[in-house]
Each structure stands twice: as C-alpha cells, then as structure tokens.
Amino acid sequence: MNHDPMRHLCSDQCGENPQVLGLPVPDSLKREWLTLATRRQFLTRGGKALAWAGLAGLMGREAVSSAQAAPSLNPHFAPKAKRAIYLFMAGAPSQFETWDPKPGLADYYDEDLPESVRGGQLLTGMTANQARFPIAPSYFKFKQHGKAGHWVSELLPHTAKVADELAVIRSLHTDAINHEPAILLMNSGNMVGGRPSIGSWISYGLGSMNDDLPAFVVLTSKLTVFQNIQALSSRLWSSGFMSPEHAGVALRSGGDPVLHLSNPKGVPSKLRREMIDGVAEINRNLHDRIGDPETNARIAQYEMAFRLQTSVPELTNLSDEPESTWLMYGPKAKEEGTFAYNCLMARRLAERGVRFTQVFHRGWDTHGDLPNRMRTLCDDIDQPSAALIADLKQRGLLDDTLVVWGGEFGRTVYSQGRLRPDNYGRDHHPRCFSMWMAGGGVNPGMTYGETDDFSYNIVKDPMHIRDLNATILHLLGIDHTRLTYRFQGLDQRLTGVEPAYVVDKLFA
Amino acid sequence: MTDIDLAGPTRAAIMHDTIHFVLRIRFIVQTLLQYLFLLALPVHLAGMAAAESPIDFNRDVRPILTKNCTTCHGGVMRAGGVSFLYREDVLGEGDSGLPVAVPGHPEKSEMIARIMTNEDAVRMPPPDHHPDPLADEKIEILTRWISEGAEWMEHWAFQPPEKPDLPEISDPSWPAAPLDHFILARLDGEDLAPSSEAGPAEWLRRATFDLTGLPPTLEEYDAFTAAHARDPRRAREEVADRLLASPAFGKRWATMWLDLARYSDTFGFEKDPHRDIWPYRDWVVDAFNADMPYDDFTVRQIAGDLLDDPDPRDLIATAFHRNTQNNTEGGTDDEEYRMEAVIDRTNTTWTAWNAMTIGCVQCHDHPYDPIPHKAYFEFLAFFNNTEDVDIDSDFPRTKVAADPELQAEAVKLEQALVSYRNEINDQARETAVSLDGWSLFRPTEAFITPDTGRLDQRDDGDILSSGTTPDSSVFTLRGPAADIAAIKLEILPLNDDPAHWDERGAVVTNFQAHFVSPEGERREIRVREVVADYITGPFDPQDTLRGNARGFGEFPMMKAPRTAWFVPEEPAVPQPGETLELTLGHGARCNGNHQNTVLRRFRVETTADPRLAEALADPERAGAWQHHASLQSRYNSIDGLTIPVMRERPEAATRETRVFIRGNRTTLDEVVEPNIPEIFGRPEQAESRLDMARWLTSEKNPTSARVLANRLWAEMFGIGIVETLGDFGSSGALPSHPELLDFLAIRLREHHQWHIKPFLREIVLSSTYRQSNRIPANLLEIDPHNRLLARGPRQRLTAEMVRDQGLALSGLMHPELGGPPVFPPQPDGVWNSVYSGATWNISEGPDRFRRAIYTYHKRTAGHPGLLTFDAPDRDLCTEQRQTTNTPLQALVTLNDPAHIEFAAAFATRMADAGDDPETRLVHGYRMLTLRPPEPEILGILVDLHSDALADYRAAPDEAAALADDGTPERAALILVANTLLNSDHALNR
C-alpha cells in the first residue's frame, strides 16, 4: 500500500554501476548487492549457480567458491505462511456455479443483458458475433455452510464442509480475455511469456527448506473426462529471465516422477553408488590438479542427484499412507496423476518442506454444455481440495501453509450459444471472478469483494491479479516491492511496474 | 600476427592505472562475506584515487549521479524540472529558475548548494528517503568536477570506439596477438603474471570445442602433437585453419545466433503449432561456414527483401524477424499480437546488435540513458510496415525450392507475380480514379441475412451496420437502378479519427449485382474485374468474385479507408421498372480465426462512365492476365515448402506509426516517422528498413562492433569484457578492459572487415587463450571469475555440446548438414500438445544421431535434455545463457536412454582397443581427455570396472538388461564408459 509517488516504480531503486576493487561487479554479485541493499540476507553464489539448498553443506570445507553455507534467506518480515500450495484451475471456472451466487438472475432468464451493464466491453471472438446476450442463471443451487455462512454451490459438497477454513474472494479481476495471456498474467505477472513464474520468485526469495527436494514443484493433473483442452506448458512454471534453478520441477505421472530419475535398466543401486563415487574420485583428482571450484560443485551435484533418486521415490511411495487418507481424498487418489493424487502429493511435499507447490487442473473452459461439464469438473476437484485442507489441518500444517484455489478469469452471465434452463455456455469474462484462500495467515470464513447483480462488474473491493500476487507474497513474508531481480536494466518484480496492493483485510 | 607497430600508451596512464589498482587490490579479502563488506568501500577508494588526477566524468561522476540522482532526476522522472541525463539539462535551470551547474563555479551551482546544505527541507538527496547526506568524498568529486569545467562525457558505450595504442608491457615476448598486449598490461598493473602455456591436449580440446562444438579425436591429437614437436606455432595455425574450415564450425556458431534470433520450429503461445522455418536455421549455419561478413549478414536478415538485387536466399534470411511468436488462440486480437511481434523485432534488434535495453523506452523515456520515449516509436516505425499480421497462415511466406537450383527462379517468379499483379491493378486504377458521373446509391431496402442486425444509411450516404453480424452475414441492398459501367465500394473505419483506426477488419468476400424486375426476376450484372486502390494482405481483390472466404477489404484489422471498383463485363442498362440489387457476402475471420470481419461502415456509388469497362475489355489486358496466370502456374510447379518472411506493404498501404502513450497501443499520440535515436549516430538517410539495417553495422553506430566483439569474446573466454552481453547501457556492467574492447571492435570491423573467422583465429592462437586453466589458490581469491585472464578459460559445455560430445565420442554422430528438424529420443509425455495431433515420433536411422542444433525446437516443450543444460525456450531473444548446476543435469547424463546409448557405443570403441580391460579403460580415458590416465585414475577405473564385472557376473540378468550382447564384460564396460562421460573432464572444455 506504500506507493511512494516520488519513486517511479520502474526505476532502479539503488542502482549504479557497482565496482569492486576496480573490477566491474559480475551480474550475480550485483544482484546480491541489491539484495543486501534491500536488507535481505545474502544468498550464496560463488561461481555458477548451485541449485537448491544443501549443496554447499555437502561440499564441506572444499566449497571454495561458495563460502556461505546453505542459504538462509530471511523474509522481509515475519511470514504468516512458510509454504504455499496453489490449486490452479486452467480454463477459468465459472463463478456463477461455484462461489458467486446470483439467485436474482432467475428473474432475468433469457432476457438480454442490459447494454448499460456491458458498457461496450470488447468481447472475445467467441460471442462477438452473437445475436443476443441472454442471461443464464446458474442451474445449480447454493446453500450457506458452516459458522461463517459461506454460500457454496451444490457442486462442491465436500468443500462446503471445510468452508469455515476458507476466505472467499469474489472480486478478482484481470487484464486479459484469452487463456494464454491470462494464465501467464496469473502465473508470471505479465501477459507475454519470458517472466519468472510466481513459484520461481518464491524459490528465489526464500530458497528451499529441504536439502533433497526443489523449492518449487509442479504437478499437472490429467483430465480423465475431456481430451485435448487447455495447454499447460512449462512456461507456466518457467524461471523466465532468472537462473533456471528457480524453475518449477514438474513431477510427472507415469514413468519417472522426475525426468530420468530411475537408473537405467541393468544399473542396480549399489553399482550406481559406486559410479557416483568413481565420478567423485576422478573429479577430486582433477580438482587437485587444476583447482576449479566448479569441479567440487560437480561432485556435490552428483551426490544430490543420487539423493534425489532416493528422496523422490520415498515422496511418491504412498504405501505409508493410512487407510483414512484414501477415505479423505477419495479412491482416485490412488491413481497417479489425478487431481486427487496430486493434492495428496501436495500435502506430502508440504510436509517435506517444499516451499511452493502448484497443482494444475484443466478443462474449465465451459463455452458450451456448461452444467454437465461443471458437474464433472467439480466432482474431480471437490473432494481432494477439501481433503487437502482438512488433512493439512489435522497435521497442524494448515496454520503455516497457504492454500489458493482459482483460475485465470471468470465467465459471462450471458449464455454463449443456445440457452436452456439446464444447458448453456459461458464466454470468458475478465472483469470479475472468484477464488478462495485458506490457511497460512488467511482470515478463515471471510468473504471479500462483491460483484453487481449480474456478476459482470465489481461493486466493492476490486482485487487485481497483481494484488493477489502481492498478497500471496506478503503472507510468505515477502514485500513484493523489495523482491526484485535485475534484468535489462530494471529491478523486475512479480507485480510489475503498476501499483499493486496487499489486501490485508484478508489476513487473520 | 604481432608485427603491428602501434605507439605505446602514455607512461602516466599506465602508472595511474597501476596505482589505482594497487591501492585497491590490497583490500582484497578471502571470503565472500568480507568481499561484500567491502562493497561499501569502493566509492571511498575511488575518491582517494581520484584526488590524484583530473576528474573523469564517466569514471568518477556518472556513477554518483546514476546512483544518487537519476532515479528522480532522470528520464522517467524530472523532479523539479531537473535531469542529469543530458548535458544541456545539467547546464540549464530547474523549475526554481536556479542554474543546476555552472561550469567553473560550484558556488553558483544549485546542485552543490542542495547537496551541501543542512536544511532538511531542501537537502538533496531528500532526507526522508536518504537519511544520510551524500558522502564528503562524493561531494568533493562533484565540486571538483564543476570547478574543472563540468566536462561532460556521454556514457562510454555511446562514444564511438577509437583504436587505442598497444600498451607497454613487461614481457614483449609473451604476446602472440595484439590483444595479448592489453591483457598483459593489465596483469602487469595488478602485479600478476600470466599462467604458463596449456599443454597440447588442453588447448586442442578447448579450441576444437570452441570452434566446432565437438571434441577433438585421438587421431587429430596425435597429428597435432607430432606437428607440434616440429613447429608449435605452425601446428596450432594448421589446427585453427582446419577447425575454421570444418562444416562443424557453422553448426556450433549458428547456435549462438539462433538464441538471439529466437529460432524455433513452432509458433509459440498456447497452441504452439508447427512452423516451417528451418531453412532459416540452415541459412545461418551456411552464413557462418561461408564466413559471411557481419554487415552482409545483418542487412540480409533485417532487410534482405528490400535489396535491389537480392541473392535468391536473402528472402530466407529475413525469416530472422519472422521467428516472432504468432498467437493462434481463438479470439485473440490479431493487431495486439502483430504489435507484440513488431515490438519484439524492435527490442531484439537493439539487444542483439546494440546491447541496449530499449524495451524501457516503450513506456517512457529511458530512465538512465539519453533515449527519449518518442525515439522508440520512431525506430519501431522501421518494422511497422510489413505484411505479416499474426494470422494462422503466417502470411507472407516465400517458397524454398526443394531443388536449390530452382531457388533463384522461384524468388524471381514470386517477385514478378507481386509486381505484375500490381501493375495490372495500377493500370486500371489510373482509369478508375478518373471516372466521372458518380452517383450515390441510396437503397430503398437494406437488410442483413440472417436477420440479426440492421443496415442504416446516413444522410451523407454512408451505410452503417449494427446488431449482431456473424461471419456468414450477407448484406442485401436494393434501390433505384441506373446505367452501370462501374460500382465503387468504399469501406470505411467507424471512427473518423486516424488515431483510432485500430478496428477489426472489414472484408467483402462475395459480391454480386443484379437487376431485379418488379416480378422478382433477377438479371445478373456479371463483374469482370475488381480494381483496388492498392493490393495488400493475404487476399487478392479478385477473390471477391470467387465465392470463397477471401475478398477485398482490410484484413485482419481496419487501418485505413479502402476503395474498390467492381466493373461489369459490359456497361449494364436496366429495363424500365427494374431495381438494382447488390449483395455483399462475408466469410473472412480474424483474431485466431474466430471473429467476423463484416463491413461496419461503407458507401456505394455507381457511374455510367464506360472508360474503365472499356479499358478492362481490351484484349491486351486479357493477355496480361494470361501472362500472370502462366507465371503463377510456373511458380506453382516448383516443388518446395514455404516459410514466413518479411515483406513490405506497398507504399500506399504504409501503416502510420504513433507514439503509444505509456506504452499502451490503444492510447495513441503523435505520428512519427522512422528514425534512429540521435545518440546512436543517426545516418543521413534513415527512411527504410534497409537504411536502418545498413546503419546497424556502419561506423556511425557506436555499439554494434563492440557488442559483437564482446559476444565472440565471451563465447571463447566464458565471460564478456562487458559481462552483461545484452546491456551496454548505464545500467549494465562496465568493461573490464575498455581499451581492449575498443581495439577488438575496430579490429573486427576494419581489419577483418567484419569477418568472424579470422577474428576467432586470432583469439584461439593468442597467448591469452593458450594459457593453462589451472587455478592457483591466490588467483582464485583475487579473481574468481577470471576477469583478468591470468589463466586460460575453462567453461562447462553448452547443452548442445553435451549431446554432440556424446554423439562424437560414441561414433554415432551423423554429420549431415541441414534439413528439417529431427526427433531424437525423449521421454514419453513431454509433448502434451493440445488442439493438434502433434506427436514426437522418434527419428530412426541417421536422423536419430544428428547434432543438437537439428533437434526439433518446440517453444512450449523443449527437449528436456537440452533445457536441463540451460538451453533457452527462445520465446524471446536470449542474449546470454545462464549456466546452472543442478542435480537434474546429472540425471540426464547418467540415466537418459540417449546417453546410455552413447555410453554403449563408446564402450564398443573402447573395446576395439584390445581385449585387456586395462587397455580398454586407458583407451576410453584417452578418447575423452586425449591423455593417458594417471596411475591413480587408472586405479579408480580398474576398481570400478572389476567391481562392476564381478557384480554383473553374479547378476547376469542385470548385465543382460544393460548390455545388448548380454555379457557381463560389456555391461561393466558400458558402466565405466558412462562414468567417464559423467566426469568433470567430459562436461567441461
């Protein structure tokens, strides 16, 4: 909220051409200096980047080029959450059938949306040609749940049971009206690719809490029902202009959870250990002769790879889960790659100290046949999302784990295509949509923001995507204006150069 | 190479530098923590040093201004009307009316008064943000600067490079190339000595990888050592010449350029469909192999289409700027993404050629560098007039003939088709615009089918459509009939203000005219030809008569009013009582093929003036059409594929470029003409893209030669003289050896006439490059990043080299040049293409073993083996790869089946050396490192091998799983081969 008019947000806040001892400071060090200038502790970096945590520790005394031990990055202020799980619903779930009930619309069934509401908004190519804009009330009913009295759609019966843990936001809005730019904006703060994703910023800012696992893990959910819809590509978890070590590591379903994690056929673990030792011995010999600290880094890198080969299978081995887990998450949780499986995996990652886990679900682009599709989609995510909240809570993790649920924009009040009471479609709508947050410092049970009678425009407490991202960072102890990365002469940040506001009303 | 007689530098300058450095070097400390502690000190130190010599603006003053002043008094903010970016501003007055700086008179200079005052209300920098006033040393520097006359220098990168004299050095026998003088002079100043010369194996591996991207073979090494024993210098020169002449050279160096060119085999964005553009990649490889001078290389890529007499392959070169992404997602605004592409071209050009972060200037004046906001759009205007419009067809495209012999003809035909078609149209248009007797058509009945919208005619005759108008809409207009020899259709933007001509396109795709009798009998007025004001875009005006989804108008965006004349086969005369009926169909869709392009405002006039109809009926014209058709059929008969290229719109269709207010394309300001920012040496003529392309590598441009020399240097030494390869601006790093950088820039441009091969040859044969890369402990502390080059470079292999080394050592590599991208093995499920059936079908045969540069590059799902080793996704221009070190890399080279395949074939070659395990291990180690293993290493390998052999003998199933012949012997050897390929020897050069 502290937007200082004297400082253009786009400007270098503390820049100059730093020189040390007459030598221009290498970029990496400059960044570290800038980091210091923002009173943050110092992330170790000697020569090239050493990924994740723990490597310096592994390298022991030989770690010439990385004098600092494991990076212990201090947040800007006391964090409410130590880690976050982001359940991303690609394709944009309709707010009408989930979190923004508009019972009054029943009276307007099949009437045209008044032009005054639409306000000459640019439409997508999908409906711009339409003859009429007939209002489509939600086919699904809402009821109040819990002490907080959240209105929850009948499509989300399980989530309704944990409603008291949720803060529902009905006033998100975005700049983009098409999927790709909107998803990029949500995930990287910019509609065009090439920027680091939110998880990369968090990895860069906070580092990892687990020596054996990356700080930023991505789980993409397979869609059993619909095929060929909503691309999810690695650019959504790319580190953009940052060092690739901050990119999300996608745990895959089917085959190795991490690419090439398994030994080749015919290389048993014992021999692999001997190989790693052999590589290390050869490298130590090389290091003795030429003294390049990178060679030591290589030794640590191979050791870490070997440990990943153990830690990841341990992570993905669900045999230690009690029967109650399967009751909570539902039977689909046993099937690799389902959203339910991924929610369970997200909990296991949270337990193991992974900073940021992003679970992608997709298929929410309901231009037509919306009621049927929403039934299927909600059924796919409802129980696992609720289970994740309940499970984190019962393990005492919810207090310091932030959970976020939502998609890239909302959907229109008017039907795309033919309108019937029980079947209709909805086009993209960037002006308002709903999300929820839970855990990690979020005020449970609150509702934030309000839309008009048509859920077309926001009438109270608008919250831009920048505000959402600033708020997520804040809960993790990061001031979004101070988490910067120098690129192309600019101190880049997740929230970009436009003002962004932390919505502290959402905080407990 | 050293017989260049250059006057030495002044002794004083060297002494100055020496003292400067010695003073500083004492404070070097051992740990990074202390290093960081020191970061607070250098300004203080600089002050001390500066006290001994006149103030140097760039060295002493600019850093103080940039750090303390320009954030508020710069290009973005000019608080109090004061800016420190331009000399005239500093010598001018602020809003207060007081002079900022008066040369020679610090006491009259408001800036000094402001920084020295104790009054919080006026003190600079303001106490609320900067509790501590400027340090005394800094104030002293600023004061002295003004006392000494406030001499102003532009930022170093904006000053044209000047050829420096070779500096004096302590050991004249050391240099092998002029560049060595600069390195040694600096080392002398630091009291450091260069390292000893690298052994032949070390140099050969480094040079071979750096020049060809491949490891040297044992045979090459043996030949080299033999020649080296006779005449080391000659031996090295022969190797350098062999490597530079190798076709592998182009494949290695093209990769550097393809990162800048953001080359990819797909469109990008959500759907990320396939794009045929690989002939461009081959063009780059060929250009490097042919050692095309950089100025030619530049002009052909930026403006090859505008050359008077282009080489047949120059059009292919212009695909450089068609590597921009194209958004095919349904409903996305074609103009928005066309503009994104144009912006990308602007930014990429500046990053790749000039290392300037001009992207800042898209929204406002550059915050630190003297580049005004308007200059961005003046430069963008060079790119704003090409035919491409973000449509799914990637139009415009050129044909790449399957038979290279036919390429020249294909290009000739392509150009002839365009110019001949324009001639045909122009000839008719001349008559069309001279026609008289136009009368406005006022329909008495006008409706849209389907009946979801309406048509209304205004008093001025313009007809407006409203309501919902799907792309299938047909407009029917009925009204009074008259004699008709031509019908004029004007398609108009809704808005009268050209600043808002950014509307969705408007295209009539099916035009028909009838006379209708009172009984409803319809008599067609057969249209012979559609004459257009001009021809641009993917459609031909004649398409309007062909009943397809193409036609006449503005597509995909409405940028200007358009006029077409529909000319009957012969003047049509109505019968009494007949009315005229016009039908205008629509079918073209824009915005990701999703949005209609119906007419929204248009007017129709008719005339009985027969001149145009007569002219078109001339048999000569029929002959011209026939000729056009024969050109077309000849063109069609040439087999080949088409790739997207740059093509300029005709002059009449020139797009207006306006300044975007705060970078927003929907809020437009003044119109600008193409131009080059003043500070970059604006040439006399800067009107066309071709002029701009020529300026890029001209002497006028202060940066391009430095940027390329620095980039090539960084490829060879692992770090640039300016470390930020893509940022030479005030916010970038300063050069570690400014004089060397200037020397190299001039050397490259003047001496080598922009030829890269001789430039690299000098580097590879230089004493600097030939040093051993062993790092003594003291050097690691003093210079961990090897900026002083007191030792030879040691770099990790690039992603491409990791693969290519595997291919080379295993003997599997297929050396073929060029062709469509290939699909080496990658794990299932990496490609998860939606909306298309694109699948990764693993190449078999030779294509499985092509060098990495030929691996299919998909923007949204790059090959994991390459991405893991820091290959970029190439969404945008990548000016510098970051080298990381992650465990995922180890997993690739340890476990990726492709690398196991390499290890197995490598093991086969090891086994060829003899039957004895030790012989095989020694041979493997030698193939990798060129040297026999030390006894200790051999011991490690022998132990590992014998352990593995014992284990495999005990577990034959495991052996059978790893080894193709199932024997424990082979399995053990493969295991050791894989171990060798994972050692640090293998991963570095």
pLDDT tens figures, B369-421: 788 889 999 999 999 999 999 999 999 999 999 999 999 999 999 999 999 99
At A401 the pLDDT is 97
- Chain A: give the shortest CA distance to residue B39, in Å: 6
Task: Tally Cβ neighbours within 10 Å of residue A3.
Answer: 10
Q: Are A70 and A227 in contact (CB under 8 A)?
A: no
Give the chain A residue whose CA is nearest to the CA of B17: A22
The tokens for B808 are 């080379």
Cβ of residue A279 closer than 8 Å to a chain B Cβ: yes
Disruptive mutation site among B888, B922, B947, B969 for chain A (greatest number of A CBs within 10 Å): B888
Per-residue model confidence as pLDDT tens digits over A185-233: 999 999 877 889 999 999 988 888 887 888 999 999 987 666 556 667 7
Cβ of residue A266 closer than 8 Å to a chain B Cβ: yes
Phi, psi of A74 (to 5 degrees): -85, 135
B882/A249 touch (CB, cutoff 8 Å), yes or no: no
At A5 the pLDDT is 34
Whether B61 shows a pLDDT value over 60: the answer reads yes
**Residue B953 and residue B965: Cα distance in Å, rounded?**
14
Give the chain A residue whose CA is nearest to the CA of B935: A285
Cβ of residue A278 closer than 8 Å to a chain B Cβ: yes
Per-residue model confidence as pLDDT tens digits over B904-958: 999 999 999 999 999 999 999 999 999 999 999 999 999 999 999 999 999 999 9
* Percent of chain B whose predicted confidence (pLDDT) is above 90: 70
What length is written for chain B?
989
Lowest mean pLDDT among A59-73, A148-162, B59-73, B122-136: A59-73
A125/B330 touch (CB, cutoff 8 Å), yes or no: yes
Query: Counting beta carbons within 10 angstroms of the beta carbon of residue A368, is it exposed (0 to 12), middle (13 to 18) or buried (19 or more)?
Result: middle
Q: Which of A6, A52, A65 sits opposite B72 (nearest CB)?
A: A6
Give the chain B residue whose CA is nearest to the CA of A243: B882
**Residue B974 and residue B985: Cα distance in Å, rounded?**
18
Integer angstrom CA distances of residue B163 from B239, B705, B740: 30, 12, 9
Name, in order, each residue with C-beta under 8 angstroms of B223's C-beta and a sequence gap of 6 or more. none
Q: Are B187 and B790 in contact (CB under 8 A)?
A: yes
Disruptive mutation site among B452, B944, B984 for chain A (greatest number of A CBs within 10 Å): B984
Give the chain A residue whose CA is nearest to the CA of B775: A291
Tell me, what amino acid is at B761?
R
At A123 the pLDDT is 61
Q: Look at residues B567, B635, B597, B212 and name the one whose alpha carbon lies nearest to residue B407.
A: B635
At A120 the pLDDT is 63
At A14 the pLDDT is 29
B25/A21 touch (CB, cutoff 8 Å), yes or no: yes
Q: Which of B736, B884, B961 sits opposite A244 (nearest CB)?
A: B884
Give the chain A residue whose CA is nearest to the CA of B597: A129
Whether A505 shows a pLDDT value over 90: the answer reads yes
**Residue B263 and residue B284: Cα distance in Å, rounded?**
11
Query: A292 to chain B: which residues are within 8 Å by CB?
Result: 773, 775, 794, 984, 988
Q: Look at residues A341, A331, A313 and name the one whose alpha carbon lies nearest to residue A220.
A: A341
Cβ of residue A25 closer than 8 Å to a chain B Cβ: yes
B38/A21 touch (CB, cutoff 8 Å), yes or no: yes
- Chain A: give the shortest CA distance to residue B1, in Å: 29
Integer angstrom CA distances of residue B658 from A220, A458, B376: 43, 33, 10
**Which of A 301-360 lie inside 8 A of B, CB atoms?**
301-302, 304-305, 307-309
B334-349 helix and B373-380 helix, angle to the nearest 10 degrees? 100
**Residue B12 and residue B19: Cα distance in Å, rounded?**
10
Asked whether the CA dihedral B667, B672, B673, B675 is positive or negative, the reply is negative
B884/A264 touch (CB, cutoff 8 Å), yes or no: no
- Chain B: give the shortest CA distance to residue A294, in Å: 9
A20/B940 touch (CB, cutoff 8 Å), yes or no: no
A282/B794 touch (CB, cutoff 8 Å), yes or no: no
B719/A231 touch (CB, cutoff 8 Å), yes or no: no
Lowest mean pLDDT among A383-392, A481-490, B200-209, B429-438: A481-490
Whether B831 shows a pLDDT value over 80: the answer reads no
Whether B330 shows a pLDDT value over 60: the answer reads yes
Mean pLDDT of B88-95: 85
At A131 the pLDDT is 67
At A456 the pLDDT is 95
Per-residue model confidence as pLDDT tens digits over B610-662: 999 999 999 999 999 999 999 999 999 999 999 999 999 999 999 999 999 88
Cβ of residue A2 closer than 8 Å to a chain B Cβ: no
Per-residue model confidence as pLDDT tens digits over A406-433: 999 999 999 988 899 999 999 999 999 9
Task: Tally Cβ neighbours within 10 Å of residue B927.
Answer: 23
Please, which pLDDT band fits residue B192 given cuts at 50, 70 and 90? very high
**Residue A113 and residue A99: Cα distance in Å, rounded?**
21
Per the model's pLDDT, the better-predicted residue between B50 and A452 turns out to be A452
Q: Does B133 sit behind a cis peptide bond, omega within 30 degrees of 0 on the bond before it?
A: no
Q: Look at residues B685, B671, B680, B683 and name the one whose alpha carbon lies nearest to residue B701.
A: B680
**Residue A10 and residue B364: Cα distance in Å, rounded?**
10
Q: Are B19 and B193 in contact (CB under 8 A)?
A: no
Q: Where exactly are the structural domains of chain B?
A: 11-152, 252-401+651-700, 429-618, 897-987
The SS3 call for residue B221 is: helix
Integer angstrom CA distances of residue B199 from B194, B206, B211, B282, B648: 15, 11, 18, 36, 55
The SS3 call for residue B313 is: coil
Disruptive mutation site among A30, A65, A267 for chain B (greatest number of B CBs within 10 Å): A267
**Residue B204 and residue B765: Cα distance in Å, rounded?**
11
Give the chain A residue whose CA is nearest to the CA of B367: A11
Q: Are A386 and A329 in contact (CB under 8 A)?
A: no
B733/A301 touch (CB, cutoff 8 Å), yes or no: no
A8/B28 touch (CB, cutoff 8 Å), yes or no: no
At A129 the pLDDT is 56
**Which of A 190-209 lie inside 8 A of B, CB atoms?**
192-194
B773/A279 touch (CB, cutoff 8 Å), yes or no: no
- Chain A: give the shortest CA distance to residue B969, in Å: 13
Q: Which of B834, B951, B984 sits opposite A230 (nearest CB)?
A: B834
Q: Are A450 and B689 in contact (CB under 8 A)?
A: no
For residue A83, what are the β-bridge partners?
A: A401
The tokens for A278 are 């052999």
Cβ of residue A258 closer than 8 Å to a chain B Cβ: yes
- Chain A: give the shortest CA distance to residue B280, in Å: 23
The per-type count for chain B, helices as H runs and strands as E runs, is 34, 21
Q: pTM of the predicted model, to two decimals?
A: 0.83
At A228 the pLDDT is 53
Query: B958 to chain A: which residues are within 8 Å by CB?
Result: 266-268
Name, in order, each residue with C-beta under 8 angstroms of B682's C-beta and a sequence gap of 6 or more. B675, B676, B695, B700
Q: Look at residues B883, B864, B899, B724 and name the one whose alpha carbon lies nearest to residue B798.
A: B883
**Residue B870 and residue B831: Cα distance in Å, rounded?**
19
Please, which pLDDT band fits residue B832 given cuts at 50, 70 and 90? low
At B365 the pLDDT is 81
At A406 the pLDDT is 97
Q: Taking CB atoms and an 8 Å cut-off, how many pairs form between chains A and B?
A: 380
Integer angstrom CA distances of residue B273 from A490, B328, B340: 33, 8, 18
Q: Give how far the C-alpha of residue B477 lies from the chain's centroid of Cα atoms, to the nearest Å.
A: 50
Mean pLDDT of B751-777: 97
Asked whether the CA dihedral A426, A428, A431, A432 is positive or negative, the reply is positive
Q: Are A105 and A112 in contact (CB under 8 A)?
A: no
Per-residue model confidence as pLDDT tens digits over B470-491: 778 999 999 999 999 999 999 9
For residue A464, what are the β-bridge partners?
A: A173
Integer angstrom CA distances of residue B670 from A5, B498, B500, B976: 27, 11, 12, 69
Whether B492 shows a pLDDT value over 90: the answer reads yes
Please, which pLDDT band fits residue A47 given cuts at 50, 70 and 90? very low
**Residue B338 and residue B490: Cα distance in Å, rounded?**
25
Mean pLDDT of B25-30: 30
Class of domain B429-618: mainly beta
Q: Beta strands of A161-298 (E only): which ranges?
A: 166-173, 216-220, 249-251
Disruptive mutation site among B786, B885, B943, B952 for chain A (greatest number of A CBs within 10 Å): B885
State which of A152-156, B32-36, B588-592, B839-843 shows the largest mean pLDDT: A152-156
**Which of A 71-110 lie inside 8 A of B, CB atoms?**
none
For residue B113, what are the β-bridge partners?
A: none
Give the chain A residue whose CA is nearest to the CA of B871: A244
**Residue A86 and residue B481: Cα distance in Å, rounded?**
68
Question: What is the average pLDDT score of chain B?
Answer: 90
B730/A181 touch (CB, cutoff 8 Å), yes or no: no
**Residue B472 and residue B598: Cα distance in Å, rounded?**
9
Tell me, what amino acid is at A295?
T
Whether A56 shows a pLDDT value over 60: the answer reads no
At B836 the pLDDT is 66
Give the chain B residue whose CA is nearest to the CA of A230: B834
Per-residue model confidence as pLDDT tens digits over B837-872: 678 889 989 999 999 999 999 998 889 999 999 999
Whether B452 shows a pLDDT value over 50: the answer reads yes
* Percent of chain A whose predicted confidence (pLDDT) is above 90: 59
The tokens for B391 are 């449509």
Please, which pLDDT band fits residue B834 given cuts at 50, 70 and 90? low
Q: Which of A24, A131, A307 sits opposite B733 (nearest CB)?
A: A24
Give the chain A residue whose CA is nearest to the CA of B836: A228
- Chain A: give the shortest CA distance to residue B512, in Å: 23
Class of domain A83-258+310-506: alpha beta
- Chain A: give the shortest CA distance to residue B925, in Å: 11
The SS3 call for residue B510 is: strand
